């Protein structure tokens, strides 16, 4: 066992231990959590760089068997952590986003040790989702991610945030239960939970099965339950209902964190299961499964974009946008495993899925950071309240403009690169409706991105509602509009938005750990600069992405 094989263990265990330390330290002295989190993330960054250097530097897959258990001839009792070209790049994304959110939280809050303990717990859960090689432990880490997210959403203790967290808890638990039911079916069919052994068993290449199991009723049912469960986690329409409320009501730093990484973990998990467990051979044997994935993902792309256009609150626009963007990632996975896809089409689709997954994490996290900066500078939480801020807050407005254009897919940003690869893969596979869906989604994304640019740079500040009423009233008035445009799902927003606006205008005694300093902090500016620069820089890295992912892609499409 090489030394670098300990890196996956450290990436998971380190933040979990640090979370306990931060919680314990709060008993002695509050407000020490940020320093503990920064030290942990810096150490984690070193481990991530070490692991990525090994994976991309020629060693390839890094595997660690926990407890040093070998695999018996018939069953895999050992629990494995696996890092390959796909997981290593997502690990780097988690570290970069986590550091950016820490920089933002330094002055925007929340600041309490309990918050940073949950933050580190979520980080460790995300690392586990990315690095585990076992489908049951994937469930365990998804639950850690979910529990930490529920706590973070409600961390400022407002009633509407608590309701959003409860809604997420109920929906998320349902999704996790469906996933676990699917895992149970797979175990009944194969007798193993290890991803590599599952793939071998389903293909009929294991000693404990007789022939391929792709069309076995248990296996098909297992795929269906796992897919629905992970679609809930990734907020694929119509299983997205938890996401808009969670994003809109969470503290700003929490929204930036979970928007960039939590649904990303769900989409990543689905890609990992589709590529490494079921493999393209399953979808060739059960073509209806591939068509179902592509169809549902395409509906999510269009529905998410259409719903985003109708919103008036900034956070809700970006929340519904995520429904669309993760639909694109899942559609790319569906194309890659589709029976109609040639090896070249599958390669393009896989690279597109990974690029869009990474790009969305950077773009959406940055957009929510920019939205937080504008809200704290000018109390602007609705589109109308952004009017004229291009001049009054040029830094945050400029970053939001760059990131919004990247979300549209304007070259040379990473948003364009991901959509370009996915569209090429769809055309190469002959699945033209997906290419048409990407075009339609891009037009709709441009529609709401243009509204941001128009308000920021072409609408006078004197015309903004905030010139005559305060930010709280603006947000409260917006609740009714949201209730009308969300198809009835936000009927209670009229009451909850008012309390949300009041908390944005001034922090009350119940929210002592939320910063109330106006303006953009240095940490917030650093996070914004990093996100905007990465969104552009990654747009030039198409060849590098393709080369780095080539060993993984070759393994999938062989």
What tens digit of pLDDT does each residue of 276-302 get? 999 999 999 999 999 999 999 999 999
Helices 113-131 and 33-54, axial angle in degrees (round to 10): 20
Per-residue pLDDT at 236 exceeds 90? yes
The residues, ordered by sequence, that sit 6+ positions from 364 with a Cβ below 8 Å of its Cβ are 259, 260, 318, 321, 322, 325, 407
Beta-strand relationship, 79-83 and 62-66: antiparallel
Lowest mean pLDDT, pick from 28-37, 298-307, 353-362, 518-527:
518-527
How many helices (DSSP H) and strands (DSSP E) are in the chain?
22, 2
Question: What letter does residue 385 receive in the DSSP assignment?
Answer: G
Lowest mean pLDDT, pick from 35-49, 160-174, 228-242, 374-388:
374-388
Q: Compute φ and ψ for 53, nearest 5 degrees.
A: -65, -40
- Give CA angle at 517 (516, 521), nearest 5°: 125
The dihedral sign for the CA sequence 151, 153, 158, 160: negative
Per-residue pLDDT at 321 exceeds 60? yes
Per-residue pLDDT at 431 exceeds 80? yes
**For position 520, what pLDDT does the model report?**
44
**For position 203, what pLDDT does the model report?**
86
Of 235 and 518, more confident: 235
Share of the chain above pLDDT 70, in %: 86
**For position 261, what pLDDT does the model report?**
93
Q: Compute φ and ψ for 64, nearest 5 degrees.
A: -130, 125
The pLDDT-based confidence of 209 (bands split at 50, 70, 90) is: low
**Mean pLDDT of all residues belonging to the chain:** 84
What tens digit of pLDDT does each residue of 89-132 get? 999 999 999 999 998 888 777 778 888 999 999 999 999 999 99
**For position 516, what pLDDT does the model report?**
39
Lowest mean pLDDT, pick from 24-33, 126-135, 429-438, 480-489:
480-489
Per-residue pLDDT at 74 exceeds 80? no
Q: What is the mean pLDDT of residues 450-477?
A: 60
**For position 68, what pLDDT does the model report?**
56
Collapsing DSSP states into helix, strand and coil, what is residue 352? helix
């Amino acid at each position: 066992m090489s030394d670098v094989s300990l890196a996956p263990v450290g990436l998971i265990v380190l933040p979990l231990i640090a979370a306990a330390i931060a919680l314990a330290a709060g008993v002695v002295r509050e407000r020490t959590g940020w320093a503990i989190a920064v030290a942990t993330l810096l150490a984690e960054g070193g481990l991530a760089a070490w692991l990525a250097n090994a994976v991309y530097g020629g060693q390839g897959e890094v595997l660690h068997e926990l407890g040093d258990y070998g695999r018996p001839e018939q069953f895999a009792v050992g629990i494995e952590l696996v890092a390959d070209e796909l997981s290593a790049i997502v690990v780097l994304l988690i570290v970069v986003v986590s550091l950016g959110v820490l920089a933002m939280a330094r002055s925007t809050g929340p600041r309490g040790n309990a918050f940073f303990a949950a933050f580190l717990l979520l980080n460790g859960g995300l690392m586990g989702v990315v690095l585990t090689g076992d489908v049951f432990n994937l469930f365990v880490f998804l639950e850690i991610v979910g529990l930490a997210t529920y706590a973070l959403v409600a961390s400022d203790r407002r009633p509407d945030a608590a309701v959003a967290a409860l809604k997420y808890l109920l929906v998320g638990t349902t999704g996790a239960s469906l996933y676990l039911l699917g895992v149970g079916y797979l175990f009944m069919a194969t007798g193993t939970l290890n991803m590599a052994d599952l793939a071998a068993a389903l293909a009929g290449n294991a000693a404990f099965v007789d022939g391929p199991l792709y069309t076995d009723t248990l296996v098909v049912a297992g795929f269906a339950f796992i897919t629905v469960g992970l679609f809930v986690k990734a907020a694929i329409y119509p299983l997205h209902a938890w996401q808009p409320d969670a994003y809109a009501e969470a503290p700003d730093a929490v929204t930036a964190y979970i928007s960039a990484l939590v649904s990303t973990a769900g989409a990543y998990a689905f890609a990992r299961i589709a590529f490494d467990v079921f493999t393209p051979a399953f979808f060739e044997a059960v073509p209806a499964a591939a068509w179902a994935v592509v169809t549902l993902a395409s509906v999510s792309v269009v529905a998410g974009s259409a719903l985003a256009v109708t919103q008036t609150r900034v956070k809700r626009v970006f929340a519904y946008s995520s429904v669309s963007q993760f639909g694109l990632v899942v559609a790319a996975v569906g194309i890659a495993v589709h029976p109609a896809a040639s090896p070249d089409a599958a390669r393009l689709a896989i690279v597109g899925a990974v690029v869009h997954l990474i790009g969305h994490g950077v773009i959406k996290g940055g957009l929510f950071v920019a939205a937080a900066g504008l809200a704290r500078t000018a109390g602007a939480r609705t589109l109308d309240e952004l009017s004229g801020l291009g001049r009054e807050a040029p830094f945050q407005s400029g970053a939001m403009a760059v990131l919004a254009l990247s979300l549209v897919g304007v070259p040379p940003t990473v948003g364009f690169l991901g959509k370009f690869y996915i569209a090429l893969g769809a055309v190469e596979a002959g699945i033209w409706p997906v290419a048409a869906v990407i075009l339609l989604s891009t037009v709709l994304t441009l529609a709401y991105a243009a509204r941001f640019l128009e308000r920021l740079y072409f609408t006078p500040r004197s015309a903004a509602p905030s010139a005559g009423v305060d930010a709280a009233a603006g947000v409260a008035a917006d609740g009714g509009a949201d209730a009308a445009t969300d198809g009835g799902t936000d009927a209670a927003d009229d009451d909850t938005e008012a309390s949300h606006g009041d908390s944005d205008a001034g922090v009350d005694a119940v929210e002592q750990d939320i910063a109330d300093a106006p303006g953009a902090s240095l940490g917030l500016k650093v996070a914004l600069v990093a996100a905007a620069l990465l969104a552009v820089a990654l747009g030039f890295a198409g060849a590098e992405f393709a080369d780095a992912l080539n060993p993984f892609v070759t393994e999938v499409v062989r």
